[in-house]
């Protein structure tokens, strides 16, 4: 990249973060959810997954949420009207 006769040597910094699922306390369940939209607003979908304290799969569901924003999709992913 050149600016006003000067050459800048710019290199991107790439960060890697590993994220692990942590089980809930013994005898309880955990619900993880997520949502996304194609555009903002745009066609959106969401879903959730329930697992027990041993990490066993209990239930999951996905839903089309219609034309909403990405924030609305994230916060609506676990509920179905």
pLDDT at 2 over 60: no
65 part of a folded domain: yes
First to last CA, the chain: 52
Considering the entire predicted model, what is its pTM?
0.68
19 part of a folded domain: no
For residue 7, what pLDDT is reported? Answer: 80
Please report which confidence band the pLDDT of residue 3 belongs to, taking 50, 70 and 90 as the band edges: low
User: Alpha-carbon distance 49 to 63, whole Å?
Assistant: 12
User: Alpha-carbon distance 39 to 16, whole Å?
Assistant: 26
Q: What mean pLDDT comes out for the span 7-17?
A: 87
67 part of a folded domain: yes
| pLDDT per position as a tens digit, 34-81 | 999 999 999 999 999 999 999 999 999 999 999 999 999 999 877 666
CATH number, domain containing residue 69: 3.30.420.10
Q: What mean pLDDT comes out for the span 15-32?
A: 94
Question: How many domains does the structure of the chain reveal?
Answer: 1
Instruction: Decide if 60 contacts 78 (C-beta within 8 A).
Output: no
Please give the residue range of the domain that contains residue 62.
Answer: 24-81
């Amino acid at each position: 990249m050149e600016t006003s006769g000067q050459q800048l040597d710019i290199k991107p910094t790439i960060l890697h973060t590993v994220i692990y699922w942590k089980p809930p306390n013994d005898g309880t369940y955990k619900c993880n959810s997520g949502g996304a939209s194609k555009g903002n607003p745009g066609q959106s979908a969401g879903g959730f997954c329930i697992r027990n304290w041993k990490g066993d799969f209990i239930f999951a569901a996905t839903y089309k949420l219609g034309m909403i924003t990405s924030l609305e999709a994230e916060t609506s992913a676990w509920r179905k009207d």
